């Protein structure tokens, strides 16, 4: 049973709204595979334990199956790859297979968009080690860091190397690094790994100094002036590459060039999450939503604008407020949705404790065991399946795995439409790409992983 909330939605349905029903088109199948996080690409294998390559969304093989391992855990598109079966055989490639970092390292640490730290390892003992192989491994299975090499990714150059001893931590900034040693000294290096000076802390990449009526923002180490601003500068927000500023106790945001992104008039700013910012006008007040230009989209009436997190990724931007043009909101522990203009598409009428919240849907389990989907566009669908499970990895929450009484598995969209027919599938194998545009599911009969394009 389906009903549509609001005259506008009824008109959209009558006019054949593109969002009325999603489709799943099977584009290819592989023996086994995993989506590379943050992309619609798949790391595929032609044999269960064979070599891996990269498949494009249309089924084109863009990188041949010649890698032992391929994975992504960052938002910058850097793909960690292992090509040779040896301790120091890891490197990095891009989505076309171009080598970014040679296959000479044991571990790779993506520090920021600009910086990657590549570690060479050597065998050690269980009494003194930095890394331990949980399964298999090489030799003893215990390893010490031998050297750290720093890659400046805009030029793809290895600009400097350090031994294991003496190193404590590192923080990366646009165009420079701050490395702390075990004595607590924080040395600042430029993009060529030339020493610029020292910093107070490794996470203080910038210095803020009062200069008359203005505040100067300078690079740590050499004091290079970035810009001056009439606002007090309080904090560098590394993931967003923005500065939090204030005037008379009110907060705003400016960028690396000193341009005002959000005027300092808010008691609280929760940081940029995708293209939007949650904020409070008053400290004890309610939350509203701004866009990335600082324009107010909603009144300040919510207890929470619920952000979605990119699963499986680390570093860079991980939170997103609007997904496919919608965001869930909490008002008095009641959940609803707003669209990208700030308009409520679903009034906050669903108790927070009784729903499973996804970016674009709510899943409600009734006392009688029946499941209901509430889509962000206002469509409410009662489902007849005994088992309904959100498909993870994707942000949108628009796809669910369902199972009937006979144990057959299929996939429904956020309106309850069956877009992958019920069959002999493994429900645990259902995964999507991060943006939800690709779906994979394991066919138990053929023992192949089927890959679908979602529209």
User: Do the domain assignments include residue 175?
Assistant: yes
User: Do the domain assignments include residue 296?
Assistant: no
CB 397 within 8 A of CB 360: yes
Q: How confident is the model at residue 314 (pLDDT cuts 50, 70, 90)?
A: low
User: Do the domain assignments include residue 196?
Assistant: yes
Q: Say what the pTM is.
A: 0.88
User: Do the domain assignments include residue 30?
Assistant: no
Regarding beta strands 387-390 and 379-383, do their DSSP bridges make them parallel or antiparallel, or are they unpaired?
unpaired
Q: For 303-311, what is the mean pLDDT?
A: 88
CB 179 within 8 A of CB 167: yes
User: Do the domain assignments include residue 184?
Assistant: yes
What pLDDT shows up at residue 138?
A: 85
Tally the domains of the chain. 1
Contacts of 96 (CB under 8 A, 6+ apart): 62, 63
Domain that holds residue 214: 167-225
136 or 355, which is more confident? 355
412 or 319, which is more confident? 412
User: Do the domain assignments include residue 18?
Assistant: no
Contacts of 274 (CB under 8 A, 6+ apart): 317, 319, 320, 321, 322
CB 67 within 8 A of CB 343: no
pLDDT over 80 at 168, yes or no: yes
What pLDDT shows up at residue 10?
A: 30
DSSP E strand boundaries for 274-321:
276-280, 287-291, 304-305, 308-309, 319-320
User: Do the domain assignments include residue 430?
Assistant: no
What pLDDT shows up at residue 20?
A: 56
Place of tokens 């869930």: 328
d(CA 304, CA 178): 35
pLDDT over 70 at 299, yes or no: yes
- Angle at Cα 412 formed by Cα 409 and Cα 417, nearest 5°? 125
User: Do the domain assignments include residue 186?
Assistant: yes
Tens-place pLDDT, residues 63-77: 999 999 999 988 888
What pLDDT shows up at residue 434?
A: 84
**Mean pLDDT across the chain, nearest whole number?**
91
């Amino acid at each position: 049973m389906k009903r549509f909330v609001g005259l506008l939605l009824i008109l959209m349905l009558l006019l054949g709204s593109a969002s009325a029903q999603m489709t799943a088109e099977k584009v290819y199948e592989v023996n086994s595979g995993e989506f590379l996080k943050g992309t619609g690409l798949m790391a595929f294998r032609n044999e269960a334990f064979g070599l891996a390559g990269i498949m494009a969304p249309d089924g084109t093989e863009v990188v041949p199956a010649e890698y032992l391992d391929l994975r992504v855990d960052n938002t910058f598109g850097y793909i960690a790859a292992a090509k040779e079966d040896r301790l120091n055989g890891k490197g990095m490639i891009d989505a076309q297979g171009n080598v970014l970092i040679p296959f000479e390292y044991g571990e790779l640490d993506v520090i920021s968009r600009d910086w990657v730290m590549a570690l060479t390892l050597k065998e050690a003992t269980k009494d003194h080690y930095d890394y331990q192989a949980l399964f298999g491994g090489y030799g003893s299975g215990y390893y010490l860091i031998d050297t750290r090499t720093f890659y400046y990714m805009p030029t793809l150059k290895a600009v400097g190397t350090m031994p294991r001893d003496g190193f404590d931590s590192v923080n990366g900034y646009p165009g420079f690094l701050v490395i702390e040693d075990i004595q607590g000294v924080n040395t600042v290096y430029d993009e060529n790994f030339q020493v610029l000076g020292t910093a107070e802390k490794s996470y203080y990449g910038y210095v803020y100094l009062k200069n008359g009526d203005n505040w100067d923002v300078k690079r740590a180490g050499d004091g290079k002036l970035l810009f001056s601003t009439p606002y007090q500068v309080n904090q560098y927000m590394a993931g967003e590459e923005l500065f939090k500023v204030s005037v008379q106790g009110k907060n705003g945001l400016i960028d690396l060039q000193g341009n005002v992104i959000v005027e300092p008039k808010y008691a609280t700013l929760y940081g940029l999450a995708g293209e939007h910012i949650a904020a409070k006008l008053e400290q004890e007040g309610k939350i509203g939503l701004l866009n990335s230009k600082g324009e107010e989209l909603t009144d300040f009436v919510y207890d929470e604008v619920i952000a979605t997190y990119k699963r499986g990724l680390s570093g860079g931007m991980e939170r997103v407020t609007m997904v496919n043009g919608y965001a869930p909101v909490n008002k008095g522990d009641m959940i609803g949705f707003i669209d990208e203009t700030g308009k409520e598409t679903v009034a906050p009428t669903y108790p927070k404790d009784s729903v499973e919240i996804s970016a674009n849907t709510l899943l409600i389990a009734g006392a009688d065991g029946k499941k209901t989907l509430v889509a962000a566009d206002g469509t409410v669908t009662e489902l007849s399946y005994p088992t309904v499970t959100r498909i993870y990895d994707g942000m949108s929450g628009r796809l669910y795995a369902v199972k009937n009484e006979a144990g057959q598995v299929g996939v429904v969209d956020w309106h309850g439409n069956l877009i992958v027919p019920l069959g002999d599938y493994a429900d645990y194998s259902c995964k999507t790409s991060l943006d939800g545009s690709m779906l994979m599911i394991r066919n138990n009969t053929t023992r192949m992983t089927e890959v679908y394009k979602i529209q």
